[in-house]
Structure 1
Amino acid sequence: MEENKMREELLLKKENDYYYDEKCPGCKVERAKHMKKDMSLRNLFNIWMVVLCSALPISSLFPYLYFMVSDFHIAKREEDISGYAGYVGSAYMFGRALTSLLWGIIADRFGRKPVVITGIIAIVIFNTLFGLSTSFWMAVVARFFLGALNGLLGPMKAYSSEIFREENQAAGLSTFSASWGIGLVIGPALGGYLAQPVVKYPNIFPKNSIWDKFPYFLPSLIISIFSVVVLIACFWLPETLHNHPLISQDESAGGGDDADSLETGGTGCGDKDKTIQKDENLLLNWPLMSSIIVYCVVSLHDVAYQEVFSLWAVSPRRLGGLDFTTDNVGDVLSITGVGLIIFQLALYPKFEKVLGPVGFARIAGVVSIPLLQSYPFIAMLSGFTLYLLINIASVIKNLLQISIVTGMFLLQNRAVDQHQRGAANGISMTLMSVCKTIGPAAGGAILNLKY
C-alpha cells in the first residue's frame, strides 16, 4: 500500500514537474486529475450551483423592472420608465466593474474558495435588500453593492478549468456557461412568475400583507434562500490553488507563442509542446486580451438584449411591444432554459472538439445577425404563431450567444498559468462589467427613443 502511494506521487511529480505536498489543497486536486478522478458529478455540480447562485440575481428583475420603476413614481412620463430601468440594471455591473480585478488578485493570493464564499454572502444580503426597496435610489444602491461585493464569477471561471484535466476543460467550462445561461433565463422566469404575488395569487398571498407592501420581494427571497443553501455547501468546496510555489520546467524553459493551439482547442495531454507563451504582463498577452475583447463585445450585446427583450415583450402594442404579461415572459425564458441545458451539457463539447472554440464562435456570430433581424417581423404576428416563433428565436439566440462565451472562456483560461488565472479572469470580468454597465442603460435609452 505504501509503495503504491509513493509510486503515484512520483508519477504525479513527473507529469506536472513540481513537488507534491500532501497538505496542499491544490496538490490534492492535481493528484485526483492525475488518477483521472476529476471528471465527477460532484465537481460539475459544484460549478453548476455556485454559478447559478451568482447568475440568478443579475437578470431576475428584468420582467418586473418596468412595473417596479413605475411604482417608484420617479418617471414623469410612461415613456421614461425604460430609461430609469436601465440605470437600475446598470448599477450591478458598474459595481462589479470597479472590484472584479481586485477579487481576482485576492483569489490568486488567498484562494478561490474564500472569494466564492464572500461573494455568496453578499448575494444573500444585498439581493434581499433589493427586494425590499421602497425607492428608486435604494434599488440602485442595493444593486451597486450586490455587484461590487460579489466577485465569485472570475475565480469560478478559473476553478472550472483548474479542477479538470485539459481534455475535460471544455466540459467544465461548458457547465459554467450552461449554469450561467440557465441563471440568466431562470432568473427572469422567477421574477416573472413570483413578482406581484398578491395580484397573481390572491388565494395564497392576502392583501395588506408583507407581499402587498413589497410586491417584488418574493423572487429575491427565493434566490436568497437558495444562496444560503449553496453557501453552506461551499464549505466543502475543494480548493484548487497551491499554497506553495510551483517549480515548473516548462516555465523555466519557456514555450513558443502558438495562437493556433488556442484556436484548435489544445485539448489532450500531448499538446504540451504547443503550450503558448505565458506573458507575465497580462495586458501584453495577446491570446488572452483578444479573447477578452470578443467576450466583452458579446456580453454588451447580450445584456442589452436580455433587458430590451423583457421590456419590449411587456410593453403595450401601441408602443411597439408584444403586450405580454410577466407570466408570458417567464414561459418564454423557461423554455429557453431547457434548450440551454440540453445543448451545453450534451452537444457543445462535441461541437467544440470538431470546430474548435474560435471556429464555433465565428459560425454562431454570423448566424446571430439574420436571426435578430427577424424580431420586428415576428412582432407583426399574433396568437399561437407569435408565441411559437418568439420561443424558437429566443432558444436559438441564447444557444448561439452561450456558445461564443464558452469558447472565449476556454481561450482565456488556456492563455495563462494558474498563478495568474484569477487576475486574468478579473480583468475579463472588469472589462465585461464595464460593457454590461453600458448595455442596460443604452438598451433602455434606445427603447425609450423608439417610443
Structure 2
Amino acid sequence: MTSVFPYLPEMIESFNVPKDEVASWAGITSAVFSLSQALTGIFWGRASDRFGRKPVIIIGMLCIMLSSLLFGFSRSLAWAIAARAFAGSVNGNVGIIRTTVAELVPQKELQPRAFSVMPLVWTIGSIFGPGFGGALAKPAAKYPGLFGKSGFLKRYPFALPNIIASLFFLVGLAAGILFLKETLETKKHRRDYGRVLGRLLLRPFVRREPVKPHHDNEQTALLWGHSRSYSTSPSSDGNNKRSQGSLDRQAPPKYSEIFSKQSSINLLTYTLLALHSVAYDQLLPVFMHYPAQGSPTSGQNVQLPFKFGGGFGIDSNRIGLLYTLYGVCGMFIQFLIFPPVARSFGVLPCLKVVTIMFPIIYVATPFAVLMPTAISQQIAMFIVMVVKCFAVVFAFPCTTILLTNSAVSLRVLGTLNGVSTSISALGRAAGPAIGGWTFSIGVEKGYMIVPWWVLAACAVLGAFPVWWLVEMDGFGGNEDNESNTEVNDDLRSLDGDELSRSKPKTIENDASKHSATNEDLPTSLGDSTEHSKTVNGGSRIE
C-alpha cells in the first residue's frame, strides 16, 4: 500500500491534470479509499464475528491484491479512483487483525509489545514499499537500456510496482492460509486444513527432541496424560459441544455494549488522529514533488516568513529514498523504544505527550523549504519526518491498546474494531480531501503554510479528547482468573490414588491451594514447562 505514495503525483499528472490541481485529485483519490473503507468496515467486523477471523482476513488480502493490479493498469483518472474505491471497500483487515492480536494476547502487561507488532510490520513495509514504488514507476523512461523497448511498460508506466506488490500479497496469502491461527472462540476448535498442510510442510525442518527417561518428566507425562484423558472424556466432549453450540447461538452484541463511554471517546480520538496523520502522509509527497521556487528570498510572491509558494521539486526516486530512510527509523523506534517506554510510563501518558507534538510538527513542516540549498532542504524535511514518525509510532499503538481495553468483553471486540475501522476511515477520507483542497488554495494564493497549519489546527482539536480518556483494565485479568480456576478444578477432580502413585509433590501442594497462580502451575509440572505460562485455558506464550 505504501508503494503508491512516491509516484501518485506523477501518476495523476500523466492523466493530463494541471499541476495546480494535482494535490486536490491526490486527496480525492485517497479519500475515496477511506470512504469506501468506512462504508464496509462494520460489515467486515461482523463477518469476522460470524465466520471467523482467518477466512475474512484471507478474502480481504486476495481482494486487495486484485485492486492493486487494477490501480497499476489505470489509464485514466476515473479508473484510478474506481480502483482505489474498490481497494477501500475490501480493506477491512486492519480492525480484524487488531482483534486477532487482542484475542491472542489479553494480558495487559504484554500488550505494548504485542500491539507494536502491527505498526512494526507496517514500518517494514514502509521501508521497502516506497523504495521500489518510486524506483519502478515509469521504468521505460528511467531505465531505457532495460525497459526502453517494452511497449507494455510504456503503455502502463505504473504497472510494474503494483505487479511486484502483488507478489508480496501472494506470499502473505500463503503464510495466512498455512500458518494463521483462528482465534474466534466459536470457530477456533474446528479443523483447519490449511494449518495441517503447513505443519506437514514444516515437518522436515523441525527437529524433534528425544524424551529423556527422567523421573520428573515421567511424572509430567503421566500427569498430562491424566489431564488429557479427563478433558477428552465423552461427557467432557458433550459439554464442550453444548458450550460451543450456546456460543454459536449468541445474539450479536448490542450497540449499547459496543459504544460505552470510554469506547466512544477512544473512537473519537482514533478518528481525529487518523484524519490529520493520514492527511499529512498523503500531502507530503505532493509537497516534495511540487516545483521549487527559484529562490525563497526573491520574487514578488515571497514575503517571509509566511508568504512563499514553492515545494522541493524532487522526483519519485528521491521521494522513495526519503520514505525508505523514514521507514528504517520507524522500525528502530517501534521495536526498541516504544515497548519499554510504554511499559515504564504507561500507555495513556505516552499518548498525551505525542498528541502535543503533532501540531508543532505540522506548523514546522513548510519552513523546511526555506533552507538555502536543495540538500539542506531535504535534510531539514527528513528531520521533521523522523519526529513525525516518533509521534505516529507511539500514537497509533497506544490508541489501539486503549480502545481494545475499553471493550466490555471479547464478544464485542470484533464488532468494536470493525466500527473503529469504519469511523476512523471517515477521518482518513476527510483528512486527505481537506489537505488537497487547502494545498491548492495555498498554492494559488502563494501561502504554502495554509494546508499544514490547517492540519495543525485539526491536531489541536484531536488532542482534547485524549485528556478525557481513562486507562481501563481490559478483559485479560478476568480471562486469566477464569482459566486458572478451571485448571485447578481439573487437578482437584483427578483420582487421588492415581496422583499418589505418581507422587508429584509440588502439584499436590498447589492443587490443595485455591490461590494458585499461572506462574506457580507450569513450574510445578516439571522442567519441560518452566519457560511457558498457561493462559486462556491451554494456549501458551513463550
Aligned-pair CA distance for 1:279: 8.5
Contact 1:282 1:288 in 2 (8 A): no
Matched residue type, 1:343: I
Residue 288 of structure 2 is matched in structure 1 by: 313
Question: Which is greater in Rg?
Answer: 2
Selected match of 1:441 from 415, 433, 458? 433
| Residue 380 of structure 2 is aligned to residue 380 of structure 1 | no
Correspondent of 1:429 among 421, 425, 429: 421
Structure 2 alignment gaps of length 5 or more: 189-252, 294-308, 444-542
Deviation readout 1:44-96 (Å, 9 max, x if unpaired): xxxxxxxxxxxxx2x432221222112112x3x32122212221121211111
Find the residue that maps to 2:184 and give its secondary structure: coil
The gaps in structure 1 that reach 5 residues or longer are: 1-56, 246-277
Q: CA deviation at 1:142?
A: 0.9
Query: Cα–Cα, structure 1 residues 124 and 428, in superposed 2: closer, same or farther, change >3 Å?
Result: same
Compared CA separation, residues 282 and 398, structure 1 to 2 (3 A)? farther
CA contact (8 A) 1:335 1:395 kept: no
Shift of 1:370: 2.3
Q: How does 1:107-126 map to 2 (within 5 A)?
A: 107-126=48-67
- Amino acid in structure 1 at the alignment position of 2:15: F
Which of 100, 113, 121 pairs up with 1:171? 113
What SS does structure 2 have at the residue aligned with 1:379?
helix
Aligned residue pairs: how many? 361
Distance in 1, Cα, partners of 2:374 & 2:89: 43
2:18 maps to 1:72: no
In structure 2, the residue matched to 1:363 is 353
Structure 2 counterpart of 1:21: none
Q: 1:104 aligns with which of 34, 40, 45?
A: 45
Task: Name the CA distance, whole Å, in 2 between partners of 1:311 and 1:290.
Answer: 32
CA contact (8 A) 2:140 2:150 kept: no
Residue equivalent to 1:209: 151
Instruction: Indicate conservation of the 8 Å contact 1:279/1:285, yes or no.
Output: no
Q: Partners in 2 of 1:282 and 1:446 — Cα distance?
A: 39
Instruction: Please give the alpha-carbon distance, in whole angstroms, between the structure 2 residues aligned to 1:111 and 1:323.
Output: 48
Give 1:352's aligned residue.
Answer: 342
Q: Which residue in 1 is equivalent to 2:271?
A: 296
- The match for 1:81 is 22
Q: CA deviation at 1:387?
A: 2.4
Aligned alpha-carbon RMSD (Å): 2.0
- SS of 1:281's partner is helix
Offset, 1:220: 0.9
Task: Indicate the residue corresponding to 2:200 in structure 1.
Answer: none
2:396 to 381, 391, 405: 405
Per-residue deviation, residues 148-204 of structure 1 (Å, max 9, x unmatched): 022111110111122125122221111112223443564333322221111212222
The code of the aligned residue for 2:44 comes to: W
Given candidates 327, 330, 353, the residue that maps to 1:340 is: 330
1:39 paired residue number: none
C-alpha deviation, 1:208, in angstroms: 4.1
* Contact persistence 2:258–2:412 (CA under 8 A): no
**Within 1, Cα distance between the matches of 2:71 and 2:254?**
41
Residue in structure 2 matched with residue 189 of structure 1 by the alignment: 131
User: Structure 1 residues 362, 186: closer, same or farther in 2, change over 3 A?
Assistant: farther
Aligned to 2:406, which of 394, 397, 415?
A: 415
Aligned residue for 2:147, secondary structure, equals coil
Partner of 1:237: 180
Displacement of 1:438: 1.1
The partner residue of 2:102 within 147, 156, 161 is: 161
Cα deviations across residues 335-380 of structure 1 (Å, max 9, x unaligned)?
Answer: 1101111111121111111221111011112123223222222211
**Cα deviations across residues 408-441 of structure 1 (Å, max 9, x unaligned)?**
1001111222221110001110011111111122
Equivalent pair of 2:53/2:182 in contact (CA under 8 Å): yes
Compute the TM-score of the two structures, normalised by the length of structure 2.
0.64
